[in-house]
Amino acid sequence: MKKTVFIILLIATVVTSCKNTEKKEVIDVSGLYSNTWVKEIELNNDNKWQANSETNEGVLKMQNSIKTQPTNTLVEYFALVEQLNVDKNYVIKNCTMKGDSHDNLHVWLLPLIAKIDALSEAKTIEDAAKLKQSIKENMNAYFDYFE
């Protein structure tokens, strides 16, 4: 219950911190290991959405962090969480996107935030590894929808 309340508060903080958010996003916490968000995201008339360069840069930083940070122990997974949060916060802070591109960014970003948060609370290496894989898939799919 505490985790659900925390995730809801985290989402509320992200939604209110981003500019011009018109839709209310809800995260399916039971689907943290999957990427069900792909059912909700849309393309821009079969084209990728134009993202601001800082958003693209932040996603590349997250991808680099996931590739380079060792994750052999829970301590190392928690260090990865710290770096991913730095990278993710860079994206949020520098977001200048508006309209439909911004709304679709949230479809991609909010599940990622929930996964990073869940990774910070992983109790086993097995759970941490599954969450890391889901985070990696989430991040790698970014460039399927944004350029």
Spell out the domain ranges in the chain. Answer: 2-145
Q: Which of the pair, 18 or 114, is modelled with greater confidence? A: 114
What the block records as the tokens of 40 is 């909700």
pLDDT of residue 13: 46
pLDDT of residue 4: 45
DSSP, collapsed to helix, strand or coil, labels residue 94 as coil
pLDDT at 25 over 50: no
pLDDT of residue 83: 98
Any residues with CB less than 8 A from the CB of 2 and at least 6 apart, and which?
none
Mean pLDDT of 15-39: 58
C-beta of residue 19 within 8 angstroms of C-beta of residue 99:
no
One-letter amino acid of 13 = T
> 3 falls in which pLDDT band (50, 70, 90)?
low
- 142 to 5, 12, 23, 50, 82: CA distances (angstroms): 27, 22, 20, 12, 21
Mean pLDDT of 117-132: 96
| Cα–Cα distance for residue pair 73/117, rounded to 1 Å | 17
Residues 60-97: tens digit of each pLDDT: 999 999 999 999 999 999 999 999 999 999 999 999 99
> Among 6-20, 43-57, 72-86, which is the least confidently predicted range?
6-20
Residue-averaged pLDDT of the chain:
85
